[in-house]
Amino acid sequence: MKPQSKPEISISPARVKLFSPTYVMGTGFTPNHTAMSHLIRPDGSDYNPLRLRTTDRGEISHKIDTTMLDKGTFQVWIEDESSKAVSNRASFTVE
């Protein structure tokens, strides 16, 4: 089963204090499947990808815990493992 459209993600809030969570929400993924979430540090290096499960509506929701993160701006994107479609890049800043 293919996603209806290109996956789209958003992050809320886009600015967080250290130790406060932020959330990634996404739509347009293959329903009931897996997707790989990618996180890039402010220095440009990658964290290991994280496998997430999509809902029966092709949606994703994931909490990002900032406790272990550095201050700065991070980028996130998610790849649909079934279709190989890649979402937009979204960013958030840890203050």
Tokens of 37: 């979430």
Provide the whole-model pTM.
0.91
List CB contacts of 60: < 8 A, sequence separation 6 or more. Answer: 9, 24, 25, 26, 27, 29, 35, 37, 52, 53, 54, 78
Give the Cα separation of 7 and 43 in Å (integer): 26
For 47-90, write each residue's pLDDT tens digit. 999 999 999 999 999 999 999 999 999 999 999 999 999 999 99
What residues form DSSP beta bridges with 22? Answer: 64
Residue 4 pLDDT exceeds 70: no
Confidence class for position 1, pLDDT limits 50, 70, 90: very low
Q: State which CATH number among 3.20.20.70, 2.60.40.1930, 3.40.50.620, 1.25.40.10 fits the domain covering 8-94.
A: 2.60.40.1930
Hey, where are the domains in the chain?
8-94
DSSP-based helix, strand, coil % in the chain, nearest 5 = 0, 45, 55
